[in-house]
């Protein structure tokens, strides 16, 4: 067989492992190599090659590489608890920056036990045990589940379309993980566990600085929003894929949808009431990462403000770009339209100040083709019962509105903070939910393929990390646009879009990863989605025009 790695061609025998073929490259890598992409599919380093193809090594400076690092640490944590025969069942709850909170089911973890777990994890990592990926047929898996009496990984067996069942073994310990694990325990040397609330907070590096422990940043408001939604959906008994699927099978999903949508409406109404209480507030600023549903949220908030006798007036920050020739450039020499310096801050603040003082201003309209602001006679004057509503990536950054006093501003951070668990060890990430939303929206309304959306997603993420996430705790309110049922609706639309991506495409590995997650969720007809739902911004057919 012929195997290509970078500019090298290797002649190898069938069943040669990637770890053996590229032993020198793996050992001499700047950062630890944790996986590989072979013919555009993620593979364990012990994957046996059986066809011609190309290999790309994945180290922990790669975002997906760091996800594998994190999953491997969770696996080692679970193994350490089992090795010590401690009566703790952990549930991966949510991610807090570069840390993962693991809830301990039904009890509080003791400090002395946490110290033992930490030492046992260190021992397991130092021993550098192999982690074996075992693929079973359905018959072999059935025998395995009957023999062991385990429920670990059983969800994959319940899906009849699954012809192969995967399990990871390390010594005599076994468990299942949705996604690849490292092939050895020794790669996860940088970590820390600490008591947090009643459970465990696991820390690890950031992919941007993979050789050092990341700084612990606590986003208290985000965490509160996650906990609130988590608690509500636990009460509704639909906080896991299994429970959500049961609700669909038992024809209870319409009730779940109505309750979820009612929760959104209540939260939006509460925010509008809060704004109405403070008559000093003259400006509502809304920011959030891509595909959070900002446009629909702003429209629904506008309705609730009107109920409070406040008329919203929308201003688009996009009309205040600096002239094209003055636009800053990034490190590659390309125009950086996402940096705050790309906004004409002086003009923007001048107009805001005049509007809040009751003066009339002529509003610009930015011509993106010519790269210049144009004035077409559109005048705006703010009446006493009106309030400015501004939406944009920089809206939480006070530099955008630096001339306006804080007591006149009300800042709202919105995002799809997912609270749905696949199993004890795997939660759907908020980033994946937003990516699936964007794939569906881009395909339907912007004419972009799923391949195009996936290819551009890392660039979108970089802009969010720089311009939105650092300011989220400065908001006055946080609104979670996540809907527990949405992946069931998005699945039916996203799957055929993702299946258009072929194995020859670089985006195939990411498409397959998402498809592998979605296959466990039962579809929900999009006709079940209420016409004013935030989800309609992505699936179409809603009450609002965009």
% of residues, the chain, pLDDT over 70: 100
> Per-residue pLDDT tens for 45-71?
999 999 999 999 999 999 899 999 999
Mean pLDDT confidence for 28-41 = 94
CA proximity to 540, closest of 419, 413, 430, 446: 446
The verdict on 254 and 189 lying in the same domain is: no
Q: Into how many domains does the chain fold? A: 3
The verdict on 114 and 232 lying in the same domain is: no
> Per-residue pLDDT tens for 83-104?
999 999 998 887 776 789 999 9
Distance CA 302, CA 389 (A): 8
- pLDDT confidence of 292, banded at 50, 70, 90? very high
Lowest mean pLDDT among 19-23, 102-106, 244-248, 331-335: 331-335
Lowest mean pLDDT among 41-45, 117-121, 331-335, 443-447: 331-335
pLDDT at 544: 81
The verdict on 455 and 509 lying in the same domain is: yes
pLDDT of residue 331 exceeding 90, the answer is no
The verdict on 511 and 402 lying in the same domain is: yes
pLDDT at 495: 96
The verdict on 445 and 469 lying in the same domain is: yes
Mean pLDDT confidence for 509-537 = 94
pLDDT of residue 312 exceeding 90, the answer is yes
| Inside any domain, residue 305 | yes
Residue, of 160 and 78, whose pLDDT is higher: 78
pLDDT at 546: 59
> Per-residue pLDDT tens for 368-381?
889 999 999 999 99
Assess contact for 401 and 409: CB atoms under 8 A: yes
Assess contact for 114 and 195: CB atoms under 8 A: yes
Assess contact for 18 and 45: CB atoms under 8 A: yes
The verdict on 89 and 224 lying in the same domain is: no
Give the count of beta carbons closer than 10 Å to the beta carbon of residue 224: 11
Helix (H, G, I), strand (E, B) or coil at 324: helix
| Inside any domain, residue 459 | yes
Distance CA 226, CA 196 (A): 15
Mean pLDDT confidence for 522-528 = 95
The verdict on 102 and 207 lying in the same domain is: yes
Phi first, then psi, for residue 10 (nearest 5°) are -110, 140
Domain of 151, CATH number, reads 3.30.980.10
The verdict on 406 and 471 lying in the same domain is: yes
The verdict on 291 and 422 lying in the same domain is: yes
Structure tokens at 194: 């600490």
Query: Is residue 148 classed exposed, middle or buried when 0-12, 13-18 and 19+ CB atoms within 10 A define those classes?
Result: exposed
| Inside any domain, residue 368 | no
Give the count of beta carbons closer than 10 Å to the beta carbon of residue 264: 23
Domain range for 50: 2-26+35-59
Q: pTM score, two decimals?
A: 0.90
pLDDT of residue 511 exceeding 80, the answer is yes
Q: List strands edge to edge, sheet with 311-316.
A: 311-316, 386-391, 283-287, 409-415, 477-480
Structure tokens at 460: 């979108």
**Average per-residue pLDDT for the chain:** 92
pLDDT of residue 232 exceeding 90, the answer is no
The verdict on 292 and 435 lying in the same domain is: yes
> Per-residue pLDDT tens for 435-493?
999 999 999 998 999 999 999 998 888 888 888 988 998 999 999 999 999 999 999 99
pLDDT at 239: 85
pLDDT at 115: 96
The verdict on 526 and 420 lying in the same domain is: yes
């Amino acid at each position: 067989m012929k195997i290509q790695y970078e500019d090298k061609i290797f002649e190898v025998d069938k069943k040669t492992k990637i770890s053996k073929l590229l032993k020198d490259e793996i050992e001499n890598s700047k950062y630890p190599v944790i996986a590989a992409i072979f013919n555009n599919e993620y593979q364990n380093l012990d994957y046996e090659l059986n066809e011609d193809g190309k290999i790309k090594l994945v180290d922990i400076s790669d975002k997906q590489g760091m996800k594998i690092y994190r999953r491997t640490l969770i696996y080692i944590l679970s193994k350490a608890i089992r090795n010590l025969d401690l009566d703790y069942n952990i549930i991966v709850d949510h991610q807090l920056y570069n840390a993962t909170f693991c809830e301990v089911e039904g009890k509080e973890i003791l400090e002395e036990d946490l110290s033992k777990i930490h030492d046992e994890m260190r021992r397991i990592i130092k021993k550098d045990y192999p982690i074996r990926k075992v693929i079973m047929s359905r018959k072999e898996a059935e025998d395995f589940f009957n023999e062991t009496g385990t429920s670990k990984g059983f969800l994959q067996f319940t899906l009849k379309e699954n012809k192969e069942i995967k399990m990871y073994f390390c010594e005599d310990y076994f468990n299942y993980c949705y996604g690849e694990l490292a092939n050895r325990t020794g790669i996860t040397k940088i970590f820390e566990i600490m008591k947090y609330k009643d459970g465990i907070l696991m820390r690890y590096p950031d992919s941007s600085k993979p050789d050092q422990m990341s700084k612990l940043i606590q986003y208290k408001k985000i965490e509160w929003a996650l906990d609130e939604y988590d608690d509500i959906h636990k009460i509704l008994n639909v906080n896991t894929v299994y429970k959500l699927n049961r609700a669909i099978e038992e024809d209870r999903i319409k009730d779940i949808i109505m309750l979820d949508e009612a929760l959104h409406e209540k939260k939006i109404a509460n925010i509008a009431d809060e704004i109405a209480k403070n008559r000093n507030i003259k400006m509502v600023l809304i920011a959030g990462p891509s595909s959070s549903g900002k446009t629909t949220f702003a429209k629904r908030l506008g309705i609730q403000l009107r109920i409070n006798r406040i008329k919203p007036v929308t201003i688009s920050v996009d009309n205040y770009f600096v002239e094209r020739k003055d636009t800053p450039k990034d490190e590659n020499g390309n125009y950086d339209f996402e940096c705050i310096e790309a906004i004409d801050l002086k003009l923007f603040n001048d107009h805001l100040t005049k509007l809040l003082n009751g003066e009339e201003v002529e509003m610009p309209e930015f011509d993106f083709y010519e790269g210049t602001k144009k004035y077409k006679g559109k005048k705006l004057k703010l009446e006493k019962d009106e309030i400015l509503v501004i939406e944009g990536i920089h809206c939480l950054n006070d530099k955008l509105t630096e001339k306006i006093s804080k007591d006149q501003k009300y800042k709202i951070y919105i995002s799809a903070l997912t609270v749905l668990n696949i199993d004890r060890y795997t939660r759907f990430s908020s980033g994946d939910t937003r990516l699936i939303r964007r794939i569906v929206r881009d395909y339907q309304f912007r004419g972009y393929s799923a391949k195009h959306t996936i290819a551009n997603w890392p660039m979108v993420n970089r802009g969010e990390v720089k311009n939105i996430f650092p300011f989220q705790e400065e908001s006055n309110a946080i609104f979670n646009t996540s809907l527990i049922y949405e992946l069931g609706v998005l699945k039916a639309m996203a799957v055929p879009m993702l299946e258009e991506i072929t194995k020859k495409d670089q985006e195939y590995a990411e498409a397959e990863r998402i498809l592998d997650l979605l296959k466990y969720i039962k579809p929900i007809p999009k006709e079940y989605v209420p016409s004013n739902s935030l989800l309609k911004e992505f699936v179409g057919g809603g009450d609002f025009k965009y």
